[in-house]
Structures are given as C-alpha cells and as structure tokens.
Amino acid sequence: MRLSVSVLLVASLLGLLLLPSTEAKKQNKGRGMKGARHKLSRVRGAGRHSRSDTSRIVAPNCAESTESGDVFIDCQERHLNTIPSAQAWSKQPKHLLLARNRIKVLRNRIFTGYEGLTSLDLQQNEISLVEEGAFQGLTQLTTLLLQHNRLSTLSEETIIPMPNLGYMRLYDNPWNCQCAMDSLVRTLQVPSNRNLGNHARCEEPIWLKGKKLKQLEAEQLCKELPPNDQGVRPSTSPQEPIPIRTKPESNAVCHTYLFPQVRMDCRNKGLTEVPAGIPDDVVQLDLSNNAIRHLKAKEFQSAKNLKVLNLSNNNMEHLDTDSLTGLLQLRELDLSNNLLQFVQYGVLEDLYFLSQLKLGGNPWVCDYSIHYMVYWLRLHPGVRYSGLLCRSPPEYTGEKVEEYINNYNRGCPKERPYNRPSADQTDPELWNTPQELQAELEEELEPSHLRVPQKYEIFRLS
Ligand SMILES: *[C@@H]1O[C@H](CO)[C@@H](O)[C@H](O)[C@H]1NC(C)=O
C-alpha cells in the first residue's frame, strides 16, 4: 500500500500519464502480436502458483515482483551486457530496471516482447550506440532513463516509436552537438516536451562544451564552419560564454532512481557542499561519506517531498538556522559521524514529522548551546534519537546529554574548570527549571520570524 502510494506519487509528480488498466487492455486487443504474447505468457505461467506480491528470483538472476498490479523486473547491477530476453519472465513487465550494468549497444528491435513497458531504466551503463529501431514497439513507454552512459549522438528517429514518452533523461553523456543531433535537439526544444533531455549538455564541439541541449540554437548545428575556422570559433561568437559553475549540479554528480520511489544517491562524491538543484520530487537523499562542512540556509528548500536525508560521515561543523527549512515531510535525518558540537537555535523547527534522528559520533559539547536540541527533543516525544553523548567538557565526557541537563536543572552543575566564553550564548547563571524553559521555548518557537533567542531574567528559588 505504502509502495503503491509512492509509485502513484512518483508518477503524478513526473507528470506521467499512466493508462488505466482497462484502457490498456483495450489497446492490447487491437494489437494481434501483443494479444498473442499475453496468451503465451498466461499459458507459460499457468503451472506456476507463486503469484504472490513477494519478490522472487528468476532467470537471469533478476528479481520479479508485482506492486499494485504492475510487474517490475529488477536487473540492476547484474553484470549484464545485453537486454535479457522478454521470454524469461512469467508476466509481461511494466517496469524494467537495468541500471548499473555493462550494456554497450542497443540493437534494432532489442525490446521485442517488452511492448507493455511504461518505464525503462538504462542509466549507468556503457551505452555508446543506440540503433534507430532499438525502441521499436515500446508504444506505451512514458519514462526512459539513459543518463550516465557514453552516448555522443542519438537521432530523432530513435524516439519516434515511443509516442507516449513524456520523461527522458539524457544527461551525463558526452553529446557531440553537431548536425546529426539537429532533429533530436529540435524535438527536445518543443515546449510540450518539457521533461525530455533536461540537463543534458554538449561535450563537443569545443565551442559548445557545457551548453545545454535544450538551449542550443538548432539552426547552428548543421551550418558549415567557415574554412578558416580551425574548430574553435572566434571569441566574438554569438554563443553565450560557458557559465562558471560554483556549485556542483546534483544531476551531474548524483545518481537518481525512480522506482519504487525517487531516490538520489550522492554518496562518496567528494562533495564539500550540498549540490545545487535537488529536484523537488526526491524522497530519499543520501549525501553520506562526503566532505560537507556547513549546511547553508535553504539548501533543501526545493526538496518538499524529502522523507529521508542522510548526512552522515561528513565534516559538518555548523548548520545554519534555516538550513533545514522546508523539510516538512522529513521522517529520518542522519547527522551521525560529523563534527557537530551543538545545533544552532531554530534549526529543527520545520521538522514536524521527524521520527528518527541519528546523532552519534559527533563531539557534542555539554554547555548551554546544547540545551536547545534537548528541549526540542522533549517537545517532540515522537522522535526516536540516538547518539547524544557529551564529548566535552571533560567532567561530562561520555555522559548522556540528558544527564547533564538534569544536573543542570537540579542546580548542581559539576565543577567547571573553565568558562567557554561565547557572545551569543545566554549566561548559564540565568538557567531555569524545565517547566519555565519549556514555556519559554514554546513561546519562542511560535512565530518563525521571531526565532532569535531572547534573554529572560528568571530568578531561581533555591
Ligand atoms: C546513512 O548512510 C550511512 C553510510 O552510508 C549508513 O550506514 C546509514 O545506515 C544511513 N542512514 C540512514 C538513516 O539510512
């Protein structure tokens, strides 16, 4: 159920038009070949009784599963160098996942028998050639993923057999933006094709390197260069200069998977900051094992559907107050194994639905600055959290942060050998009871534009 909701969500977010099943059946009747194939698969499948919704392994070692009536074939990362035969499956698949294999060429009619596909994921292969008739028969295909391959050219004829194609990824291929690409580029630029070929950029010729296919002047591609032009256009060329990119683009550095939900994998990319342009349909974002030091304000603001955010194993020292703004759907946040000493006042305020927070492996400092997080956690008892241990000052090393807070509230903080002077921290002498603090926090948490901590003069009766 959860899965079907997310599949629907993905589909609607992508603006895909999935045919209702009766409609699809009607269409199938009209096609003799397909009808025959349906019968065939029914006969072949007749002896099998395991039609449950659980995955099982079938030749060639791929997982076949059914989710809300749609058949998925998952052949990701199976060392395949060709498309497996459609005869291998007990039912006609709707979704074929072939990411991270070693496919190099797509020959004509290679998808014969796969006419029921609505999505085809071929990302992260080694495809350098797609023959013009490769996608013949995929009349129901709406989603085609070809990013992270080795394509330098693709003709428009290749995509003509797929009249329902609404979403095609082509980025991170070394596109050679010359005459052979003219008709494809024109097709991508038709305004109604707004989800075809976004983010794809030219690798060659040199004067177009970095330019988006969507933004090329198609008329220029088939123009002869003047004979004195030795491959490099003069600097007076009308082409815009290549923009200097200060931030890496998430689409260029990360891998995106669409099924069963939109997941972006940015692990181990040497990132020193959050990449730009995280698409707003991403549900899981994994930024673990990078070198991010600082979360800046509003970096995730567009990622309104994000439910899982993994920032573990970075070098994070600081989270700006507005860095998690907009993450209203976030369920899981992993901040473990960073360099965090405290969490800035206000950082957690948008995380209404957070249920899991991982905090281990950070050098949390048990002084006033940590109180915000502990009281936020108390105000949000539904959040399961782990790893909140004091690393310093020495008298609290290894203790639970909650223990330190309790000590504090009992008015008997341990001997402090030194005072951490800090301009933006309230004088610890003004500390108050949990009830007062809770009231104070609730008051402060109310209007977001008034999130600056106030100094209250509260006298403790002792
Ligand atoms: C985050 O990533 C780390 C390392 O890649 C992994 O061990 C951890 O389980 C992930 N956390 C979540 C919440 O998925």
pLDDT at residue 399 tops 60: yes
pLDDT of the residue at 199: 87
Instruction: Tell me the sheet residues that pair with 175.
Output: 202
What distances in angstroms separate CA 447 from CA 81, 296, 444, 450, one per listed residue? Answer: 57, 21, 7, 6
List C-alpha distances in Å: 374 to 163, 164, 366, 381.
Answer: 56, 52, 11, 11
Amino acid occupying residue 414: K
pLDDT score of 414: 62
Quote the pLDDT of residue 138: 96
Q: Are 29 and 181 in contact (CB under 8 A)?
A: no
- What residue owns the CA closest to ligand 1's atom 13? 334
Average pLDDT over residues 100-109: 95
Ligand 1 contact, 310 CB (< 6 A): yes
What is the mean predicted confidence (pLDDT) over 238-263? 73
What pLDDT, in 10s, does the model give residues 152-165?
Answer: 999 899 999 999 99
For atom 5 of ligand 1, the residue with the nearest CA is 288
Closest CA to 114 of 132, 141, 74: 141
Cα–Cα distance, 319 to 310 (Å, whole number)? 14
Q: How confident is the model at residue 419 (pLDDT cuts 50, 70, 90)?
A: very low
What average pLDDT does the structure give for the chain?
A: 78
Q: Interior CA angle at 154 toward 152 and 155, to 5°?
A: 145
Give the pLDDT confidence score for residue 236 in this predicted structure: 41
**Measured between alpha carbons, how far apart are the two ends of the chain, in Å?**
56
Ligand 1 within 6 A of CB of 332: yes
Q: Widest CA span of the chain, in angstroms? A: 92
Percent of residues, the chain, with pLDDT higher than 90: 48
Q: Is 265 in the pocket of ligand 1 (CB under 6 A)?
A: no
Distance 58 CA to ligand 1 centre (A): 29
DSSP 206: G
Check pocket membership of 123 for ligand 1, CB cut-off 6 A: no
Confidence of residue 220 (pLDDT cuts 50, 70, 90): confident
In the chain, the domains with their CATH numbers are: 56-221 (3.80.10.10), 253-450 (3.80.10.10)
pLDDT over threshold 60, residue 132: yes
Question: What Å distances lie between residue 454 and 82, 164, 422, 429, 457, CA to CA?
Answer: 64, 58, 15, 15, 10
Choosing from 285, 309, 310 the residue with most ligand 1 atoms within 8 A of its CB, the one to mutate for a pocket test is 310
The predicted-structure confidence for 301-353, as pLDDT tens digits, reads as follows 888 899 999 999 999 999 998 899 889 899 999 999 999 999 988 899 889 89
* Ligand 1 centre distance from Cα of residue 258 (Å): 19
The pLDDT of residue 408 is 84
Q: What's the rounded mean pLDDT across residues 421-440?
A: 42
The 8-class DSSP code of residue 102 comes to: -
Task: For the chain, give the percent of residues with pLDDT over 70.
Answer: 71
pLDDT number for residue 246? 64
Do residues 167 and 16 touch, judged by C-beta distance below 8 A? yes
Is residue 108 scored above 60 in pLDDT? yes
- 354 to each of 175, 239, 306, 329, 334, how far by Cα in Å? 42, 47, 11, 8, 11
Q: Minimum mean pLDDT among 230-244, 350-364, 442-456: which range?
A: 442-456
pLDDT digits (tens, 9 = 90+) for 264-308: 999 999 999 999 889 889 999 999 999 999 999 888 988 889 999
Residue 82 CA, ligand 1 centroid: distance in Å? 32
pLDDT at position 277 is 86
pLDDT attached to residue 152: 95
Report whether pLDDT(188) > 80: yes
pLDDT the model gives residue 50: 41
Higher-confidence residue of 7 and 399: namely 399
Question: What average pLDDT does range 14-23 have in this prediction?
Answer: 40
**What number of other Cβ atoms are within 10 A of residue 254's Cβ?**
22
Task: Say if residues 337 and 360 touch (Cβ distance below 8 Å).
Answer: yes
Separation of 289 CA from ligand 1 center, angstroms?
Answer: 9
Q: Where are the alpha helices (DSSP H) in 213-368?
A: 218-221, 250-253
Q: Identify the residue with better confidence: 217 or 233.
A: 217
Pocket test for ligand 1, best of 263, 266, 271, 288 (most atoms within 8 A of CB): 288
In this predicted structure, the answer to whether residue 56 has a pLDDT above a threshold of 80 is no
* Amino acid symbol at 320: D
CA dist., res. 214 & res. 185, Å (int):
7
How many CA atoms lie less than 13 Å away from 147 in the CB half-sphere? 22
List b or e across 137-152, with b for residues whose CB sees 16 or more CB atoms inside 10 angstroms.
Answer: bbbbbbbbbbbbbebb
Residue 122 has pLDDT above 80, yes or no: yes
Contact 369, 390 (CB under 8 A): no
Q: Return the structure tokens found at 339.
A: 């360099």
* pTM recorded for the entire structure: 0.56
pLDDT score of 129 more than 70: yes
Query: Among 52-56, 134-138, 153-157, 323-327, whose mean pLDDT is lowest?
Result: 52-56
Pairwise pLDDT comparison (235 vs 73), residue with the higher score: 73
- Structure tokens belonging to residue 300: 């995730």
Q: Considering only 37-41, 109-113, 131-135, 240-244, which range has the smallest mean pLDDT?
A: 37-41
Amino acid (1-letter code) at residue 83 = I
Cα–ligand 1 centroid distance for 263 (angstroms): 14
**Confidence grade of residue 427 (pLDDT, cut at 50, 70, 90):** very low
Q: How far is CA 37 from the centre of its chain?
A: 36
Q: Pick from 271, 292, 309, 312 the residue to mutate for probing ligand 1's pocket: most ligand atoms within 8 Å of its CB.
A: 312
- The yes-or-no verdict on residue 107 having pLDDT over 90 is yes
Q: Look at 44 and 126; give whichever has higher pLDDT.
A: 126
Average pLDDT (212-234) is 69
Q: Which of 390, 353, 357 is nearest to 371 (CA)?
A: 390
Give residue 234's pLDDT band: very low, low, confident or very high (50, 70, 90): very low
Taken in order 262, 268, 271, 274, the sign of the CA dihedral is: positive
Structure tokens at 123: 């990302």
